[in-house]
Structures are given as structure tokens and as C-alpha cells.
Amino acid sequence: MPLRSLLLLCFLTPACGGPDRSPLSVTIEYPDGGPPLNKHFSFVVDLQGQAGELVDVDADMPSHGHGINTDPVIERIGNERYRIDGMLLHMPGAWELYFDLKGSDNKTRRIVVPLELAHQ
């Protein structure tokens, strides 16, 4: 079974909805053992009813001021499900994963998912 975890939520960014919108969340299914350190991996994202299409996936380590060195590829595999290939988190520590959803209004909203990657 993939490690399945319900993950958070948005921070207080302008792209992050108004009072009429419930908090944004997605479900991420990581490979067995969780996201690996410094290895390419694939995972599945379920938009959990969020309106929109997943158009970009990225990640940063905000406390280090850098991102990732790969450009993950998105493939839609179901109504709200996407497989992400080519993610690589090259060091342990506090990452943020970014999921950009484009709505029918053509606006893009970003869902931010914190991820603490342990030494392995």
C-alpha cells in the first residue's frame, strides 16, 4: 500500500481563497517508505474535490533559498488524480511542495504542502 496521508492546506496567500472557500487540501500517495532522499520518485496527487486542473508542481526549501533541480512531469490518471514523475528532493530538511491549480476562471491557485524530509 502506498503511504497515504492527508496533507495540508494553504497558507495565507492571496491565491489561497476567500471566506467563501474552504481550506485547500490535496491527498498525496507517496511510494512505499515515503518520499526518498536524493532519488527520483513518482507520487500520486488527488485533488479532493478542488475545482481546477493541476498545471504545475514544484518544491522549495524556503529556509535555504533554493528549489529543486528537476522539472516534474504531470500526467492525469483519473478525474481528480494525477501522477507526478521526476520529483527529486536532494537534501534533508524542511521542504514545501507546491501544487498550482488552474480554475475555470483561468486563475491559478497554489496549494502548499509542508514536507519534512529526514536523513535516510
Binding residues for Cu ion (CB under 5 A): 61, 64, 91
The DSSP call for residue 48 is T
Closer residue to Cu ion (CB): 89 or 111: 89
The residue (of 69 and 79) whose beta carbon lies closer to Cu ion is 69
At its nearest, how many Å lie between Cu ion and the CB of residue 57?
Answer: 18
Cβ 91 to Cu ion shortest distance, Å: 5
Smallest distance, Cu ion to C-beta of residue 94, A: 8
DSSP three-state, residue 44: strand
Q: In 10 A of CB 82, how many CB atoms?
A: 19
Which amino acid is residue 91, in one-letter code?
M
Of the pair 39, 64, the CB lying nearest Cu ion is at 64
The x, y and z cell numbers of residue 94, run together, are: 524542511
Residue nearest to Cu ion (CB): 64
Residue 10 has a CB neighbour count (10 Å cut-off) of 18
